[in-house]
C-alpha cells in the first residue's frame, strides 16, 4: 500500500488514524468553519453506517495566517453528530509524531475526538503550515432508528458547526425477522479496550433435532431437554479468571424482535425452569444446559473469555471451538484486530519510505508474548546501479549501516504484532526492497513460513509503502498414550477381557482406541503441547457377576518431552448386597396427643429366606442381613403399629433387588391421623321450585381446618333435592359450608343454610340448605280459523307444536315444548312460560289429501310477564280437481263393422271420497271419447256401461269377454286419467241345411216325404254346450241358427231305420265352402262357421242313400248288351256334354274358392 504525505491514506478496518504534515498541501474546504487557529474540512462519511462500520475521513489545519505552529497545550475538539458514534475498534489514543518526535496526541472517544499538542511542537514553532488528516470507523447511533436522507450532517469544531458530507445517508433500522440460528461460534469485533473476547454460541433446538434425529428430542416448550457442549479455548486467555457464562433467549418465529433475556447462568441464576452448569479446567469447559426449550426459538450461550494482560492484544488471532456433544457438529471462531496508527516521516523530493504491520494467527497466537520482536529484513537494491555515496543529499535520513560504496545491502526493521512500525530512514526513489523475516524463537510454539503482502516494494517519490507480514503460530505437538491394567481378582469364574475400548477427548477432538488389558502402552496420536487429553469412558470391560470400578485417571496436559501417558485401571470385586429396613412415623406436628409405639415388628422375605425383625420407629436403619446380589427382598407384614384413637395408613415399601455396594433399604412409612367423623349436606327445594331446580347441580364449598391447617378443601356437588355423600374430616375440625351460585335464570332465588359453620364431633352432623325459587311467567294463545269451501276438514282437529327458548335459562317440560290440538273456530292457551322466552309455534298434519293449503299467522312470540300473546292462524284449503277420458275399445271379429264403429254406448259413473259424491252419465263411441271433469283428486269412481242394447246386424255382443265396469281413482291435481271400457262383438255366420236323397229307393214315397232329424251342438261364448234338433225334408232346405264366426258346430243325423223296402247307407255331409266342413264318415260332420259377408250363406248338404231292400228271386241268365253299340250310341251324345260340364264345374269352383278366400282375408 502506498501513502503520500500530501493525502489522507486508506486504512485497515475498525482503526483510527491521524496524520500530521508540516508541508503545504491543501487549502481548507469551502465548507470549513474556522475557529481560533484551527480549521477542519473535507469531512466525509463513506458508505452505509446502519448495522456495520463505515470509514470517516477529514483534514485539519492550523491556519498559516497565525504565522506560527500550534503551541503546547493548544489543539482542537471535533464532536460527532448525535446520529453517529465512533466504532469501538477506533476508540483509542493515537500519538501525533513528526520526524520521530512525539508532538501531541489525539484521543478518540465514542462521541468526540480531542487533539492536543505538547512541548514537542516547540522545535517546529517556525512552521506556518501545520496540517494533517485523519481516518476512523463510525457506525449509526442506536439513539435513532429512522432513516437519515440528507447528504450533509453537522459536526462541532471547538463549539462551532462544521458541515460534513454523508453521500449515502443512514438507512432506517431494519425490522426484526426470524431465521433459524445455526450452531456457530462468533464474537463481536475486538478493539484496544476489550478486556475479554465476547464469544457466543448460537443454536436453535428445532434445527438441532432436525439435523441430529434420535440424539436430541424435538422441543415443545414443556418437556426438559439437556444439551451438553465441550468448549475449547485457544491461547492467550486468562484461564484463572474466566467470567460467568449465560444462557440467553434471542426471539422466536412469532416474536423475532423480542428483547434478549437471561434464562440461566453459571453463577446459579435459573429462570423459567432453565439451569446451567459449567465444569472443567484449563482450556476445556463442559457446559450443560437444561430446560423446557421451545420450538422455532433462537438461543445463545454467552461465554466472555478474559484475555491475558487485561486487554486484547493487537495483531494476535484469538481462537475458540465448541463441540455439540453426541454429534459431530463443531463450531469454531477466530477474532483479531490491528492498531493502525501511522506516522508521517518528513520526506524530501526524490525519496520515499516504508512501514510494516505484523499479524500472528493460528491456535498458538495467544501464546506468543506481546513484546516478541519480529526482525523484518529489507534487502535493498539502489536504483540505476548507483551506490549510496552517489546520493549526496541522503545525509541524516540514511541508515548508518548502509555502506557508502555499495549498491545493495540489507537492513532490519524490528516490529511487534498488531502495530504499524515505520522504518525511520528514507530510500531513494526507485529503490527495490525485498521483504524477509527471521522468525523469533518462542517456547512451545512453532512458526510456519510467513506470508508477505507484498514481498517486493519499489520506493516511490514522497510515498510511504506499506507491507503486511502474517505468521502462523501453532503449538508444538507430542504423542498422547494410554495403557490399561486390571487389578487381579482371586474368585472363581473371573476372567478379565483381553481388550477394551477407551474413549478419549483432546481439546474438542474425541475418539476411541482399542487397548489390551496387559498394561502395554498404545499411542493414540499427536496433539498440541499444552492441550489437555483425558480418557472419558470405556466399553467392553464388564465381567458378569463382578463389579467394575474403573479408574480413568486424570487429564494429561501434553508436554514436549513428557510421558503424556494416561493410565486406566479396572478393579473388579465380587458382587454382594445388604438388606436393611427402617421405620418412618408421620403424624401432625401440632398433634401433642399422639405418641408412636417405640418399636414395631416387620415380617420380611429375601428370596426363599423369611423372618421377623424388630425395628425402632425413630427412622434408624436396621440391617437384616447380607444376601446374594440380585435377590429380591421386601417387607411382607407389620405388627405392633396400632395407636388407640388414630387411624394408620401403612406403606410397606417397594421390593428391592439387592445390588453390590450400597445397602438396599426398604422404608416402611406409617401415617397416623385423627379418626374421622363425617357429615352430609342436604339440599331442600321449597315448594314451587322449577323443574330445572330438581335437576340442577348445586355446588358447595367445604373447608375444614385442624391444627390451623386445611384438612378438607373440596367442592361437593348435589343434583336437585338430595343429600350429598358423606364428607369425612378429622374429629375436632372446624368446618364451614357455603353454597356457590344457585341462581336459575328467570327466577327469584333465596337460600337458607342451617348449621353451616360448626365443629365436627364424633357423631358427625348434617348441614341443611333450603332454596326457594319464584318464576316470572306469561302465556300465549292460538286462535284457529279455517276457510274450506269443500268441507274438506269436517271434524278435523288441528295439531300445533311449540318450542320455547330462553336466553338465560334452560327450559324443560311444557315450558320448553309441547303440542295441542284445536278445532276450527276454537283457541288454545299455553300458560306458565317464563317471561323473556321466545316461543316458535308450528302446525303439523294440517294438510288434507288432495287439497292445497295456505296458512297465515304462524311464527314466534315473545313471552311477557302476566300477558297472553295471541297468534291468529288461518288455514285456507282448495280441493284438487282431476278429470277422466272415457274411451270405448272394440274387440272381436265384428269390431270393424261400421255399425259398431258409429254405435253410441251409454256409461254411468259414480265418484265418492268420504262424504263427497259425484255421478252422471256420458255417451261414448269407439271413435269419440267422453270427458268427465271436476272430479276431486283421490275420489274412487265406478264407471258402468249399460249393456241392454240391441246387437247390430251381423254381430253379437259377448259380455263375458268384455269389460263393462271399471273402478278408478281420480289422479293428482289437474291430471286426466283414461277410463277404458272394452266390448267384444263376434260376427255372425248364416248356414242352410238341405236334404239330398240318392239311391234306388230315392223316389219312394216313404223316402221323399219323410222328415229327417239332424242334431246340431256347439259351445256358446260362456263355454256352455248348446244343442238343437233340426228337421229337414228333401227339397226343403232349412236355416241353422246364426252363430258367431269360428263357432264349431257338430252335426249328426239321427239315421232312419231300415224298412222292409228300404235300406239306408251312412249319411254324408258336404258344404259349398272349402274347408268349412269335415265329414267324419260316421254320420257326423264338424262345421266351422266361416268368415264372410253377413248375407253370405254357407250351404251344407246332407246326402242320404236309400236303396230298395233286396228281395230273394230266382237268378236269371244275364243278357249281355252289345257294348259297342251302346258305346256308340251313348258316347256320341253324352261324352261331349259331360266334358263341357266338367270344364264349367272346374271354372265355377275356382271362382267360388277365390271369392271365399278374398272375403275371409278382408
**Torsion over CA of 741, 744, 748 and 753, rounded to 10 degrees?**
-40
Give the pLDDT score at 1115: 54
Peptide bond into 1125 cis (omega under 30): no
Query: Could you write out the DSSP letters of every residue in 322-390?
Result: EEETTS--EEEEEE---B---PPPP--TTEEEEEEEEEEESTTGGGS-TT--EEEEEEEE-GGG--GGG
SS3 1119: coil
The stretches of 673-799 forming alpha helices (DSSP H) are: 691-695
pLDDT digits (tens, 9 = 90+) for 12-27: 233 334 444 433 333 3
918 exposure class (CB count in 10 Å sphere: 0-12, 13-18, 19+): middle
> Residues 511-536: pLDDT tens digits?
889 999 898 999 999 888 878 889 98
- What HEC string does 1039-1106 produce? ECCCEECCCEEEEEECCCCCCCCEEECCCEEEECCCCCEEECCCCEEEEECCCCCCCCEEEEEEEEEE
Topology adopted by domain 347-475: Immunoglobulin-like (2.60.40)
Examine the pLDDT at 261 and tell me if it is beyond 90.
yes
Q: How far apart, in whole angstroms, are the C-alpha atoms of residue 529 and residue 1000? A: 170
The pLDDT of residue 299 is above 80: yes
Q: Which helix (H) or strand (E) holds 1149?
A: helix 1123-1161
Round to whole Å and give the CA distance between 378 and 399. Answer: 12
Q: Phi and psi (nearest 5°) for 149?
A: -105, -5
| Dihedral, 1029, 1031, 1036, 1040 alpha carbons, nearest 10 | -10
Query: pLDDT digit string (tens) for 95-126?
Result: 776 655 678 888 888 899 999 989 888 877 77
Whether residue 493 has pLDDT greater than 70: no
Which CATH class name applies to 477-574? mainly beta
CATH 2.60.40.1140, applies to 988-1108: yes
CA 850 to each of CA 793, 936, 969, 973: distance values in angstroms, whole numbers, following the listed order: 12, 7, 12, 7
* Beta strands 532-539 and 318-324, pairing class: unpaired
All CATH 2.60.40.1280 domain ranges of the chain, comma separated, are: 38-165
Cell of 37: 487557529
pLDDT of residue 1123 exceeding 70? no
∠510-511-513 over CA atoms, to 5°? 150
491-511 burial string, b = 16+ CB within 10 Å, else e?
A: eeebebeeebebebbbbbbee
38-165 fold? Immunoglobulin-like (2.60.40)
Q: What is the rounded CA–CA span in Å between residue 444 and residue 424?
A: 33
Band the pLDDT of 1152: cuts 50, 70, 90: very low
Q: How confident is the model at residue 226 (pLDDT cuts 50, 70, 90)?
A: very high
CATH topology of domain 184-337: Immunoglobulin-like (2.60.40)
**Model confidence over 1072-1095: pLDDT tens digits?**
988 889 999 998 999 999 987 777
Average pLDDT over residues 494-517: 88
> Are residues 243 and 305 in contact, defined by beta-carbon separation less than 8 angstroms?
yes
Task: Tell me which DSSP letter residue 1137 carries.
Answer: H
DSSP one-letter code for 121: G
Fold of the domain spanning 576-673: Immunoglobulin-like (2.60.40)
Within 10 A of 965 (CB to CB), how many other CB atoms are there? 13
Per-residue pLDDT of 937-980, as tens digits, reads: 989 999 999 988 888 888 888 888 899 999 999 998 999 999 99
pLDDT digits (tens, 9 = 90+) for 389-448: 999 888 767 888 898 889 999 999 999 887 778 888 889 999 999 999 998 988 878 888
Q: Percent of the chain, pLDDT > 90? A: 43
Q: For 420, phi and psi rounded to 5 degrees?
A: -70, 130
CA-nearest of 334, 286, 323 to 510 is: 323
List the CATH code of the domain at 777-878: 2.60.40.1140
CA 212, CA 329: separation in Å to the nearest integer?
Answer: 9
Q: What pLDDT is stored for residue 966 in this prediction?
A: 94
Q: Is 1117 helix (H, G, I), strand (E, B) or coil?
A: coil
Q: How confident is the model at residue 49 (pLDDT cuts 50, 70, 90)?
A: low
Q: Where in the chain is CATH 2.60.40.740?
A: 184-337
The pTM for the full model equals: 0.40
Which three three-digit cell numbers place residue 1115?
A: 237268378
Looking up cell 408421620 gives 586
Sheet with 432-437: list strands edge to edge.
408-415, 374-381, 432-437, 456-458
Q: Which three cell numbers stand for residue 162?
A: 462544521
Which of 599, 641, 635, 595 has the alpha carbon at shortest distance from 616? 599
Average pLDDT, rounded, for the chain: 85
User: Is the CB of residue 818 less than 8 Å from the CB of residue 828?
Assistant: no
The Cα 40–Cα 656 span in angstroms is 87
Gap between the Cα atoms of 63 and 33, Å rounded = 12
Tally of CA atoms within 13 A in the half-sphere of 925 that contains its CB:
11
Give the Cβ contact number of residue 463 at 10 Å: 21
Classify burial at 927, counting beta carbons within 10 Å of its beta carbon; exposed 0-12, middle 13-18, buried 19 or more: exposed
Phi–psi pair at 167, nearest 5 degrees = -55, -35
Pairing of strands 955-957, 976-998: antiparallel
Domain with CATH 2.60.40.1140 in the chain: 677-775, 777-878, 988-1108
Class of domain 677-775: mainly beta
Residues whose CB falls within 8 Å of the CB of residue 27, separated by 6 or more in sequence, listed in order: none
Phi, psi of 1149 (to 5 degrees): -65, -40
Residue 746's Cβ-count burial label (10 Å; 0-12, 13-18, 19+) is buried
- Cα 369 versus chain centre, distance: 61
Considering the segment(s) 881-985 as one domain, its CATH architecture is Sandwich (2.60)
Interval 592-628: pLDDT, tens: 888 889 999 989 999 888 999 999 999 898 989 887 7
C-alpha distances in angstroms, 196 versus 189, 199, 239, 306, 636? 11, 9, 11, 4, 64
Q: What pairs with residue 615 in β-bridges?
A: 600
Measured distance CA(726)–CA(680) in Å, rounded: 5
Amino acid at each position: 500500500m502506498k501513502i503520500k504525505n500530501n493525502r489522507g491514506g486508506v486504512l485497515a478496518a475498525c482503526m483510527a488514524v491521524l496524520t500530521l504534515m508540516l508541508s503545504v498541501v491543501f487549502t481548507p474546504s469551502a465548507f470549513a468553519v474556522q475557529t481560533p487557529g484551527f480549521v477542519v474540512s473535507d469531512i466525509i462519511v463513506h458508505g452505509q453506517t446502519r448495522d456495520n462500520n463505515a470509514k470517516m475521513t477529514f483534514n485539519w489545519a492550523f491556519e498559516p495566517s497565525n504565522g506560527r505552529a500550534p503551541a503546547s497545550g493548544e489543539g482542537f475538539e471535533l464532536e460527532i453528530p448525535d446520529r453517529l458514534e465512533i466504532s469501538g475498534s477506533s476508540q483509542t489514543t493515537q500519538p501525533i509524531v513528526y520526524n520521530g518526535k512525539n508532538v501531541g496526541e489525539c484521543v478518540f472517544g465514542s462521541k468526540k475526538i480531542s487533539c492536543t499538542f505538547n512541548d514537542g511542537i516547540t522545535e517546529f514553532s517556525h512552521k506556518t503550515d501545520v496540517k494533517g488528516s485523519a481516518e476512523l470507523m463510525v457506525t449509526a447511533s442506536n439513539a435513532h432508528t429512522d432513516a437519515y436522507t440528507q447528504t450533509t450532517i453537522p459536526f462541532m469544531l471547538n463549539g462551532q458547526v462544521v458541515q460534513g458530507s454523508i453521500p449515502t445517508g443512514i438507512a432506517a433500522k431494519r425490522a426484526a425477522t426470524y431465521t433459524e440460528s445455526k450452531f456457530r461460534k462468533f464474537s463481536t469485533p475486538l478493539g484496544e479496550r476489550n478486556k475479554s473476547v465476547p464469544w457466543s454460541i448460537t443454536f436453535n433446538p428445532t434445527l438441532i433435532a432436525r439435523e441430529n434425529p434420535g440424539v436430541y428430542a424435538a422441543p415443545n416448550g414443556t418437556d426438559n431437554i439437556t444439551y451438553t457442549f465441550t468448549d475449547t479455548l485457544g491461547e492467550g486467555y486468562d484461564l484463572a479468571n474466566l467470567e460467568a457464562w449465560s444462557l440467553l433467549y434471542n426471539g422466536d418465529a412469532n416474536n423475532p424482535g423480542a428483547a434478549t433475556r437471561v434464562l440461566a447462568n453459571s453463577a446459579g441464576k435459573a429462570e423459567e425452569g432453565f439451569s446451567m452448569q459449567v465444569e472443567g479446567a484449563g482450556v476445556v469447559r463442559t457446559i450443560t444446559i437444561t430446560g423446557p426449550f421451545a420450538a422455532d426459538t433462537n438461543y445463545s450461550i454467552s461465554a466472555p473469555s478474559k484475555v491475558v494482560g487485561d486487554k486484547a492484544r493487537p495483531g494476535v488471532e484469538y481462537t475458540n471451538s465448541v463441540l455439540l456433544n453426541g454429534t459431530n457438529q463443531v463450531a469454531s471462531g477466530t477474532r483479531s484486530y490491528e492498531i493502525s496508527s501511522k506516522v508521517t516521516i518528513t520526506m524530501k523530493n526524490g525519496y520515499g519510505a516504508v512501514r510494516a504491520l505484523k499479524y500472528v494467527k493460528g491456535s498458538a497466537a495467544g501464546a506468543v508474548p506481546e513484546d516478541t520482536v519480529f526482525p523484518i529484513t529489507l534487502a535493498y537494491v539502489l536504483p540505476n546501479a548507483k551506490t549510496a555515496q552517489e546520493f549526496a543529499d541522503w545525509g541524516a535520513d540514511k541508515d548508518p549501516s548502509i555502506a557508502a560504496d555499495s549498491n545493495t545491502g540489507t537492513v532490519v526493521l524490528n516490529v511487534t504484532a498488531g502495530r504499524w512500525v515505520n522504518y525511520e530512514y528514507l530510500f531513494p526513489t526507485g529503490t527495490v526492497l525485498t521483504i524477509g523475516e527471521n522468525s523469533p524463537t518462542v517456547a512451545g510454539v512453532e512458526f510456519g513460513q510467513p506470508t508477505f503482502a507484498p514481498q517486493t516494494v519499489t520506493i516511490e517519490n514522497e510515498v510511504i509503502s506499506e507491507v503486511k507480514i502474517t505468521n502462523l503460530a501453532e503449538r508444538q505437538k507430542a504423542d498422547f498414550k494410554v495403557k490399561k491394567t486390571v487389578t487381579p481378582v482371586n474368585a472363581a469364574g473371573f476372567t478379565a477381557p483381553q481388550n477394551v475400548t477407551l474413549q478419549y477427548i483432546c481439546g474438542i477432538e474425541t475418539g476411541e482406541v482399542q487397548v489390551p488389558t496387559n498394561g502395554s502402552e498404545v499411542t493414540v496420536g499427536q496433539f498440541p503441547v499444552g492441550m489437555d487429553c483425558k480418557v472419558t469412558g470405556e466399553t467392553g470391560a464388564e465381567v458378569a457377576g463382578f463389579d467394575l470400578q474403573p479408574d480413568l485417571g486424570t487429564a494429561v496436559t501434553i508436554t514436549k518431552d513428557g510421558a503424556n501417558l494416561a493410565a486406566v485401571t479396572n478393579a473388579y470385586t465380587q458382587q454382594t448386597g445388604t438388606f436393611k429396613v427402617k421405620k418412618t412415623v408421620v403424624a401432625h406436628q401440632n398433634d401433642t396427643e399422639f405418641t408412636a409405639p417405640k418399636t414395631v415388628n416387620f415380617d420380611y422375605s429375601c428370596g426363599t429366606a423369611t423372618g421377623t425383625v424388630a425395628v425402632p420407629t425413630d427412622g434408624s436403619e436396621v440391617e437384616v442381613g447380607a444376601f446374594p446380589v440380585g435377590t429380591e427382598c421386601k417387607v411382607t407384614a407389620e405388627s405392633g403399629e396400632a395407636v388407640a384413637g388414630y387411624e394408620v395408613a401403612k406403606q410397606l415399601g417397594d421390593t428391592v433387588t439387592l445390588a453390590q455396594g450400597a445397602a438396599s433399604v426398604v422404608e416402611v412409612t406409617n401415617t397416623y391421623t385423627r379418626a374421622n367423623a363425617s357429615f352430609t349436606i342436604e339440599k331442600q327445594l321449597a315448594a314451587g321450585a322449577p323443574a330445572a331446580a330438581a335437576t340442577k347441580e348445586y355446588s358447595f364449598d367445604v373447608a375444614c381446618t385442624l391444627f390451623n391447617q386445611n384438612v378438607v378443601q373440596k367442592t361437593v356437588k348435589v343434583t336437585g333435592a338430595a343429600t350429598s355423600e358423606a364428607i369425612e374430616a378429622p374429629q375436632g375440625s372446624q368446618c364451614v359450608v357455603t353454597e356457590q351460585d344457585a341462581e336459575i335464570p328467570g327466577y327469584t332465588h333465596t337460600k337458607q343454610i342451617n348449621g353451616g359453620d360448626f365443629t365436627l364431633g364424633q357423631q358427625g352432623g348434617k348441614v341443611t340448605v333450603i332454596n326457594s325459587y319464584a318464576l316470572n311467567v306469561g302465556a300465549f294463545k292460538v286462535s284457529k280459523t279455517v276457510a274450506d269451501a269443500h268441507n274438506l276438514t269436517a271434524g278435523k282437529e288441528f295439531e300445533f307444536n311449540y318450542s320455547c327458548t330462553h336466553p338465560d335459562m334452560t327450559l324443560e317440560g311444557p315450558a320448553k315444548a309441547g303440542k295441542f290440538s284445536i278445532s276450527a273456530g276454537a283457541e288454545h292457551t299455553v300458560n306458565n312460560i317464563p317471561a323473556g322466552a321466545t316461543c316458535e309455534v308450528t302446525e303439523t298434519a294440517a294438510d288434507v289429501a288432495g287439497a292445497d293449503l295456505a296458512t297465515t299467522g304462524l311464527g314466534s312470540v315473545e313471552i311477557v310477564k302476566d300477558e297472553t300473546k295471541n297468534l291468529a292462524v288461518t288455514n285456507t284449503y282448495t280441493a284438487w280437481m282431476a278429470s277422466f277420458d272415457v274411451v270405448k275399445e272394440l274387440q272381436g271379429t265384428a269390431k270393424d263393422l261400421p255399425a259398431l264403429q258409429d254405435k253410441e254406448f251409454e256409461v254411468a259413473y259414480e265418484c265418492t271420497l268420504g262424504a263427497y259424491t259425484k255421478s252422471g252419465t256420458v255417451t261414448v263411441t269407439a271413435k269419440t271419447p267422453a270427458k268427465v271433469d271436476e272430479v276431486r283428486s283421490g275420489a274412487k269412481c265406478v264407471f258402468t256401461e249399460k249393456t241392454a242394447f240391441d246387437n247390430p246386424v251381423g254381430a253379437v255382443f259377448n259380455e263375458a269377454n268384455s269389460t263393462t265396469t271399471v273402478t278408478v281413482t281420480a289422479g293428482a291435481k289437474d291430471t286426466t286419467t283414461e277410463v277404458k271400457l272394452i266390448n267384444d262383438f263376434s260376427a255372425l255366420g248364416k248356414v242352410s241345411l238341405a236334404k239330398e236323397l240318392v239311391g234306388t229307393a230315392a223316389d219312394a214315397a216313404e223316402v221323399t216325404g219323410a222328415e229327417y232329424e239332424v242334431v246340431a251342438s256347439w259351445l256358446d261364448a260362456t263355454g256352455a254346450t248348446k244343442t238343437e234338433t233340426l228337421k229337414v225334408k228333401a227339397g226343403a232346405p232349412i236355416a241353422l241358427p246364426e252363430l258367431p264366426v269360428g263357432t264349431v258346430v257338430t252335426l249328426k243325423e239321427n239315421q232312419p231305420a231300415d224298412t222292409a223296402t228300404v235300406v239306408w247307407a251312412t249319411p254324408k255331409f258336404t258344404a259349398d265352402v272349402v274347408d268349412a266342413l269335415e265329414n267324419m264318415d260316421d254320420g257326423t260332420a264338424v262345421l266351422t262357421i266361416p268368415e264372410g259377408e253377413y248375407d253370405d250363406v254357407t250351404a251344407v248338404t246332407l246326402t242320404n242313400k236309400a236303396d230298395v231292400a233286396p228281395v230273394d228271386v230266382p237268378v236269371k241268365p244275364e243278357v249281355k248288351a252289345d257294348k259297342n253299340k251302346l258305346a256308340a250310341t251313348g258316347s256320341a251324345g253324352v261324352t261331349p256334354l259331360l266334358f263341357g260340364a266338367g270344364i264349367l264345374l272346374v271354372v265355377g269352383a275356382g271362382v267360388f274358392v277365390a271369392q271365399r278366400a278374398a272375403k275371409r282375408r278382408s
